[in-house]
Structure formats: structure tokens, C-alpha cells
Amino acid sequence: MSDQPAASPQGILSRHDERYQVTMYRRVGVEGAHALESYRAAGGYEAARKALTTMTPAQVIDEVKAAGLRGRGGAGFPTGVKWSFMPPPDGGPRYLVCNADESEPGSFKDRYFLEDDPHQLIEGMIIAAYAMQVTFGFIYIRGEYYEGYQRTWEAVKEARAAGLLGQDILGTGFSFDITVHRGAGAYICGEETALMNSLEGLRANPRLKPPFPAAAGMYGRPTTINNVETLTSVVHIVSKGAAWFAAMGSEDSKGTKVYQVSGPVKRPGVYEMPMGATFRELIYDFAGGPTVEAKAFIPGGSSTPMFPWEDRFLDMSMDFGTLAKNGSMLGTGGVIVIPRDKCIVDALYNLVRFYAHESCGKCTPCREGVGHWLPRMYQKLVAGLGRPEDVDLLENVVGNIRGTAFCPLADACVMPVQASLKWFRDEYEYLAANGRPKYQKNDWWQA
């Protein structure tokens, strides 16, 4: 491992380990990496040139399919398959949307692509647009990411001036342009159909599916939505080949992935590793291990069910299939470490308040259940005013919300609650019976 981890301007560490193939994140934290000149000097835009001049659109899609790339926005849908859902061109507009909303607690990987290496994302979008014969792209950036927004806009302007965006890209006859849009700072804007509404100037409520975006997305036209990391992965698949990408990772999850670690660890940060490395490697080798005794960890962003701090879970491979088999999800790969001596009920109250605040209110289970019932029940418990039967009641309420809401936001709230009840029910019962928590309140994790 390199002696000195690269530190981004914000102090988030990105450790590069020679044992691992650091590809997408190799320029994060490097001074001046965001500029076109620097990106080109490092071989930037050669993958786009290769795709546009030596491959057909269908060949690019086949390459991405063969690589086994799965979406990095949370759901892990196979990217090449998603691209092939786009109907044949009919002469009208077609859109590519890059989802850079990144609002889930524990997730902060896309931010550094935008701030430190925006040309890599633009190159990925050019290749994706060519593969799907898309005419226009949007990058939708979380409202709070102002520096990322500025850097990305600058990069789009530089790319336009260099003939990498706009009409007749690289003299190939292919035309594609991008605009950059700031979100207003709402978690629901990351849900793909709510995002499209937001881009169209409407309130960011989710849309009914079907129709899926490939059939009727932005302005009713064929649209594909991909995460920042998904699109940057494509650059390296085209440049080094599907076989190179597919050789890394586990059986159902290929390539490298940018994981994040937060909570009480020595080196919280962003780390690129092959998929299928273990939580133990990430948390101990890269993040330096917990600074206090830990009792649990959240594996993939706040909406993914937590695991207790046990060897069998720490030694699990960080891939889509393994996490699903064990009752959780890989999500965005944002690992959050939870200390032993902190109250789990209070930690979940904090999380529930986040989801209650972010519920868009469109459907009843989420508006009433997530928006009102859950925060009130937690408030009562945490204040020491709970009754022993409130633990069963809480379990009943979350069980009734699960699977009934219009979009996955409500499940994203109730799944972590259910996991905390599964593993740490004793803490809930103690608090409800005694009016005081078994462990102290959290001062380390505030929304």
C-alpha cells in the first residue's frame, strides 16, 4: 500500500493499494486532475475515440454486457441489458441522464468523480450515448455539491471547445451534447422517475412504472438513467476490454467498485477495490479499523439492513449476490460502522427522521407511516416514555409499511428498522421497560 494516502481537498482519504487495480479512482485527490489537459495527458478520451471510430453501437453494448457491469446506483441492474431496452432510433430525441444526486447517508463516492475527474464521467457518457444513439445528456447533481457542479460544468465547456461534445464529435459524424443541472437537495430526486420530473421542472414525485424510461422517459421520449460510477466504469471496459473487467470481482459482480467507509474508523474515506473483497479488508486494511469497540455495520448506505459485528459478516464478500443472500443489499457500497456503546434506538431515530423529512408525501404508507408514525414512535421511546408493548407495535407498523409504498423510499426506511429489531431487540426492550437507554445517546451520528 502506498505510504501516503492521497487526500482530496476535503480531507477524505482515497487509499491506493498496488495489490488492487485502481482504475476509476486513480486520479481522485490528484492536483489539477479535473482539467482537460491533465485528463488527456493521462490518455483521456482515447476510449471514446476507440468506440466511435472502431466499434458499432451494438458492439459497444455487447462489450458492456460481456463485461458483466451492474449499475452502481444501488439496484445493481445489468447495464448492457438496460441499454439494449432502448428502442431503435426513430429520428426524434433520445436522452441519457447521469444520476449524480447522491443523497443517501453513508454514500459519498460520486462527489469526488465530479470534483476531481469530471472528464472521465463525460467520456463515459459519450460512449454510452453512442452505444444507444442518444442525442442529448443531462448530469443531475445533488444541490449541495456546488464544487462538483462548477467543476463538471467547466469540464463540459472544455470538452465542447475541444470538439469532444456537440456536433460531429472527433470528426466521426456522431453528435451529442450535455447540460449540467443542480438538484434542489432532496433524497427523492435520486429515484430515477422523480429525477426526470425534477429535470422537466415538475415536483419531484416518482412516476408510475411502466412505462419504463426506455419506452417513455424525459418528455415522453426514450431515456436511460445511469449512476456516475456506472458510466465511468464504461470508459475502462472499452479501453481495456470486457475480459479484463470480467476477470475481476466475484461470480455475479464484476469489476472494481468504489466503496466508502464512515463512522468511528481510523481512516474514513473512499476506496476502490475489486468487487468481492471482504468487509474486513475494507474496514481494517483500508480504513484502519474501528477506533472504538464496534457492534454493527451498515453495508451499503443507510437504507441497507445492518449486520452485527461478527466474523461471519465481516468476512462476507462485498458483492450483490452475497449481500442479497444474507438479507441485505450492496446498495452504494457505503459502509457505516456503529460503536458498541451507543444506543441503537437513538441511532435509528436519527435515520428515521431523515427519511421522514425526505418522504415526498405522494403515497399514504410513506406519508403517514414514514413521515409521521415512525418518528413519533421513536421520539416517544427515546424520550423514555415508551411502554413494553411499543416494541411489538413498532414491528407491526414497519411490517405494514414494507412493500406497500409507491416507490422504494419507504422500504429504504423500514428495512434498517427491521434489521435493528432483529439484531438488537434487547436494546429496544430495555429502553421501553426502563425509560432509559442501555447505552448512551449518539453524539457521533447526527443528521
Q: Which stretch in 99-107, 117-125, 145-153, 310-318 sits in contact with ligand FMN by CB under 6 A?
A: 99-107
Is 71 an interacting residue with respect to ligand FMN (CB under 6 A)? yes
Is 299 an interacting residue with respect to ligand FMN (CB under 6 A)? no
Return the residue of 113, 145, 187, 423 that touches ligand FMN, per CB under 6 A.
187
Nearer residue to ligand FMN within complex by CB, 79 or 442:
79
Nearer residue to ligand FMN within complex by CB, 189 or 381:
189
Is 225 an interacting residue with respect to ligand FMN (CB under 6 A)? yes
Return the residue of 115, 192, 346, 427 that touches ligand FMN, per CB under 6 A.
192
Where does residue 51 rank: exposed (0-12), middle (13-18), buried (19+ CB within 10 A)?
A: buried
Is 444 an interacting residue with respect to ligand FMN (CB under 6 A)? no
Is 75 an interacting residue with respect to ligand FMN (CB under 6 A)? yes
Interaction mask 382-411, ligand FMN, x per CB under 6 A: -------------------------xxx--
Residue closest to ligand FMN, measured at CB: 190
Is 191 an interacting residue with respect to ligand FMN (CB under 6 A)? yes
Q: Which stretch in 2-10, 184-192, 278-286, 290-298 sits in contact with ligand FMN by CB under 6 A?
A: 184-192
Nearer residue to ligand FMN within complex by CB, 151 or 362:
362
Q: How far is the CB of 71 from ligand FMN (least distance, A)?
A: 2
Is 319 an interacting residue with respect to ligand FMN (CB under 6 A)? no
Is 219 an interacting residue with respect to ligand FMN (CB under 6 A)? no
Nearer residue to ligand FMN within complex by CB, 49 or 82:
82
Is 190 an interacting residue with respect to ligand FMN (CB under 6 A)? yes
Nearer residue to ligand FMN within complex by CB, 406 or 430:
406
Is 198 an interacting residue with respect to ligand FMN (CB under 6 A)? no
Is 101 an interacting residue with respect to ligand FMN (CB under 6 A)? yes
3-class SS string, the chain = CCCCCEECCCCCEECCCCCCCCCCCCCCCCCCCCCHHHHHHCCCCHHHHHHHHHCCHHHHHHHHHHHCCECCCCCCCEHHHHHHCCCCCCCCCCEEEEEECCCCCCCCCHHHHHHHCHHHHHHHHHHHHHHHCCCEEEEEECCCCHHHHHHHHHHHHHHHHCCCCECCHHHCCCCEEEEEEECCCCHHHHCHHHHHHHHCCCCCCCCCCCCCCCCCCHHHCCEEEEEHHHHHHHHHHHHHCHHHHHCCECCCCECEEEEEEECCECCCEEEEEECCCEHHHHHHHHCCCECCCEEEEECCCCCCCCEECCHHHHCCECCHHHHHHCCCCCCCCEEEEEECCECHHHHHHHHHHHHHHHCCCCCHHHHHHHHHHHHHHHHHHHCCCCCCCHHHHHHHHHHHHCCCCCCCHHHHHHHHHHHHHHHHHHHHHHHHHHCCCCCECCCCCCC
Is 224 an interacting residue with respect to ligand FMN (CB under 6 A)? no
Q: How far is the CB of 225 from ligand FMN (least distance, A)?
A: 5
Where does residue 19 rank: exposed (0-12), middle (13-18), buried (19+ CB within 10 A)?
A: exposed
Q: How far is the CB of 128 from ligand FMN (least distance, A)?
A: 10
Q: How far is the CB of 4 from ligand FMN (least distance, A)?
A: 31
Return the residue of 103, 135, 233, 253 that touches ligand FMN, per CB under 6 A.
103
Is 223 an interacting residue with respect to ligand FMN (CB under 6 A)? no
Task: Name residue 106's amino acid.
Answer: G
Is 102 an interacting residue with respect to ligand FMN (CB under 6 A)? yes
Binding site for ligand FMN (CB under 6 A): 71-75, 77, 82, 99, 101-103, 187-188, 190-192, 225-227, 230, 407-409, 412
